[in-house]
Amino acid sequence: MDWLLVLCSLIHLLLCPFTKVEESFNVQAIHDILYHQTDIVEYDHLEFPGVVPRTFLGPMIVSALAAPFVALASALEYPKIVSLYLIRCSLGVIILWPLIKLRKRIAETLGQGTSNWFVLITASQFHFLFYLSRPLPNTMALTLVLWAYYFWLGLQHDKFIAFSAAAIIIFRGELAILLGFILIGELLSRRVTIPKIVIFAVPCGLIFVSLTVLVDSFFWRRLHWPEGEVLWYNVVLNKSSEWGTSPFLWYFYSAIPRALGTSLAFVPLGLIFDRRVVPLVVPPLLFVLAYSFLPHKELRFIVYVFPLLNVAAAAACSRLWQNRMKNKWRGLLALGTIGHLLANLVLTCFLLAVSRVNYPGGEALSLLHKIENPENNVTVHIDVLALQTGISRFGQIHKNWMYDKTENLKPGSPELRMFSHLIVDAKSKHSYSLRPYLETHEILGFVEGFSHIRSSYNNFPPIRIKSKPCLFLLKNKNPPAEADFSFRSSQHISETSVIEEEPSSTAVELDFEFSNHFEGEIPENSTEKLAGVTGPAIE
């Protein structure tokens, strides 16, 4: 059944190929390693370093796997955007490998039935497979966490400690909480001793700290441990809250229910039916509880816990399915396990449809490439919204074009009039932001982005995904023959979500918003009433 995980993850990739701002460092780093190699001065991170630095070790591994395929695509003269698909496929392979190994380990320890249901449940859910091929720091760490789970279930504690140390030191320091709780459980069960932990943990820690400092100091041009600086920023200085805060229990009432879907109902049943899954569920729940003390919360921060929670749900479904023939009541419960997969699929299709219209920046640049002759000497300035929603260096497919992403240029300013083309944030052709260009530019086209969800009792199905214009392509009627771009700055694109104004609502048609920054999420202040049910119904 492993092919089902591969197929579903590939569908997510093909339907939503572009990346967003939170993925920008890794995707740009992979691009630069593949195309600029040792020419560090051309690397994107030196001009746009981001809020906190990240390690290059993940991008190096993905680049090494993708390099032969990217070279072949270049030799066949495929556009550079094809390389984006290839590097995301490579990352998907890196994650799917330990996930499939983990599935086999589950079969060995909990039975083939639980293993099969684990695959079905994971494939039916949206968030885990959607994020699986996305070049996020969390995804880079996820592969090491999955390997750690695999060795943990196999009682290979030396390898568990090694992979845990790599995940914590190189990619995500907060994983010390999750993997630490697992290790404490092993200590309490006397499957491992403190001396054994020290013997393996200390050398691994020294090796991985030395590795990341050596590699990242080379790329960042200074003595540097990226994850150490990230921990200082988020934990000691507590500046992550500047990017938004959520209530303490948000992970429990919002993130986990959305990620698990209807499978969440089977998690407590799994704890009752099979006591062997209790040690698998307690550490992730304690991790989420402890991590809830940080005010800034995102679903991707706890993506590591979903496989373990799914094991509990799978154990419950397996037991119900095995007992389906004993009586009619148990037969109905078994049908419920099938029904919950269908419900998950409906939710997944809905969230995937939302995400499809959530990358207007990538669509806008693709549209410009279709409209303009590639032989023309185009200079295009890209607005912040476009950069946050799908544009990366992989989308810059014409070598003779200049793609500029300088921030804080005022609409209609002399600097912007130097460009032959603009990608501008605007909600309609009558928007205030387009007024300075009425005389000097023509509108080539526009791209719509996700706006809101509308519920109407007069339609079937009663829910509609609404989009609206958000980016316009403008062409300068009289571009200067020789433009001066000396004003270009090195300001970074801030990792903040772009949230539209709240739509109005009526008794019959009711709108509520999703964040344009995180797939399938709604801002906390956008709680509305859907079909008479109060609360964030689809959050």
Q: At what angle do helices 157-166 and 175-188 cross, to 10 degrees?
A: 160
- Residue 458 burial (10 A CB sphere; 0-12, 13-18, 19+): exposed
pLDDT of amino acid 414: 87
Enclosing H/E stretch for 402: strand 402-404
SS3 category, 426: coil
pLDDT of amino acid 484: 66
Return the DSSP state at 500: P
d(CA 75, CA 461): 47
> Phi and psi dihedrals of 419, rounded to 5?
-85, 150
How many residues in the chain?
A: 539
d(CA 163, CA 151): 9
Which residue is it, tokens 């829910």?
463
The residues with which 279 forms a beta bridge, in sequence order, are none
Q: Can you list the domains of the chain with their CATH numbers? A: 1-357 (no CATH), 360-492 (3.40.190)
- Does pTM top 0.75 for this prediction? yes
Q: 3-state DSSP helix/strand/coil percent for the chain, to nearest 5?
A: 60, 10, 30
Instruction: Specify whether the CB–CB gap between 80 and 396 falls below 8 A.
Output: yes
Q: List, run by run, the mean pLDDT of 10-residue segments along the chain (539 residues).
A: 94 95 92 93 85 92 97 93 96 97 96 96 97 95 98 96 97 95 95 94 96 95 90 78 87 96 96 95 97 92 97 96 89 94 95 93 94 91 92 91 88 88 91 88 92 77 84 89 61 39 31 38 32 29
pLDDT of amino acid 498: 35
pLDDT of amino acid 430: 85
Enclosing H/E stretch for 17: none
The token duo for 324 is 């389906």
- Residue 439 burial (10 A CB sphere; 0-12, 13-18, 19+): exposed
The residues with which 381 forms a beta bridge, in sequence order, are 404, 422
Return the DSSP state at 242: G
Instruction: Specify whether the CB–CB gap between 397 and 369 falls below 8 A.
Output: yes
d(CA 53, CA 492): 12
d(CA 127, CA 130): 5
Tens digit of each residue's pLDDT (9 = 90 or more) over 182-218: 999 999 999 999 999 999 999 999 999 999 999 999 9
pLDDT of amino acid 234: 78
pLDDT of amino acid 483: 65
d(CA 62, CA 136): 12
Q: Which residues of 303-341 are buried (b: 16+ CB within 10 A; e: fewer)?
A: bbbbbbbbbbbbbbbbbbbeebeeeeebeebbebbeebb
Spacing of C-alpha 139 from chain mean position: 7
pLDDT of amino acid 311: 98
Alpha helices in 154-193 (DSSP H): 157-166, 175-188
- Residue 376 burial (10 A CB sphere; 0-12, 13-18, 19+): exposed
